[in-house]
Every structure is written in structure tokens, then in C-alpha cells.
Amino acid sequence: MGRANRAVVSYATALAGLAVLVACTELSPPQGEETFRQYCAGCHGRGGVGNGPWAARLPVPPADLTVLRAANDGVFPVEHVMATVHGYPGKHDFSVMPEFGPLLEGPKQIWVSSEGEEIMTPVALLELVSYVETLQR
């Protein structure tokens, strides 16, 4: 086989591999969405409006996650959402929202706060908060 034919075959093989990768990626939901379904939808509902199957049993209604940006002058409150999901000391004094930090441990990456602080943050937490941002009306 000549050099030109090998190049065409290599290119075709690469395209086929890319097509398989894209197809597989599109078939599986983004990780943040899957995490939301697993840990959040029971209370907040699949769409995030606070109507999950457990919502009626809670002493405090779950937040409507679709209006977070609107309630903050058009800015999605990333840091507040991350702190609420991850958890922090004393949180249970005023909330029934569980702390999910230990469940979201795993690979970390640097996230830069609004004040420019670089913080090693679980990728699963970043993906979950990114998904919640997509739910905004």
C-alpha cells in the first residue's frame, strides 16, 4: 500500500474512532446531571423546582433551584450553591439539606473563587453545580 493510501486509511480510522466517541458521549448523560438525579432529584425534583417525591415529607420545602439566578439579580450564585451542596459546619442548625461533600470526593481541579482564590475542588461538585446552572429559567 502506498503512502497516500495509508494516509487515507489512517484518516478514515481516526474519523471512525471519533464518531464512536461522539456517539458514546451523546448516549450517556453529563456527569453533573447524573449526580443531580442520584442525590438531588428526590427532594428538588428532576427539573429542580422543589417537587421531588420526598418533598412533601420534609419539614421545610426544598428550594426551587430554577430561580437562583433570577433571585440574585441575574447572576448564578456559584459559590453559595457549592457551599450549600458541599456542606459546612453549623449548617444543620437551620436546614434539612444534607451535606454531600463526602459523597462528591474524588478527582479535584483548581477552581477560582470570585475573590481570585484558587481552591482545589472536587470535579463532581463543579459538574453538579454547572448542571444546576443549566436549570435556570
Span 9-37, pLDDT tens digits: 344 443 344 344 444 444 456 899 999 99
Tell me the pLDDT tens digit for each residue of 43-96.
999 999 999 999 999 999 999 999 999 999 999 999 999 988 987 655 555 567
For the chain, the distance separating the N- and C-terminal CA atoms, rounded to the nearest angstrom, is 57
CB neighbour list of residue 136: distance below 8 Å, 6 or more residues apart: 66, 67, 68, 69, 70, 76
Q: What topology does CATH give the domain 29-134?
A: Cytochrome Bc1 Complex; Chain D, domain 2 (1.10.760)
State the pTM of this model.
Answer: 0.75
Please tell me the predicted confidence (pLDDT) of residue 72.
Answer: 97
Q: Which residues contact 39 (CB under 8 A, 6 or more apart)?
A: 100, 103, 128
Closest CA to 121 of 69, 72, 85, 89: 85
Domain boundaries of the chain, sorted by first residue: 29-134
Q: At what angle do helices 31-39 and 123-134 cross, to 10 degrees?
A: 90
Residues 6+ apart with CB under 8 A from 67: 136, 137
Q: Residue 102 has what pLDDT?
A: 84
DSSP letter at 58?
S
- Provide the pLDDT for residue 98: 84
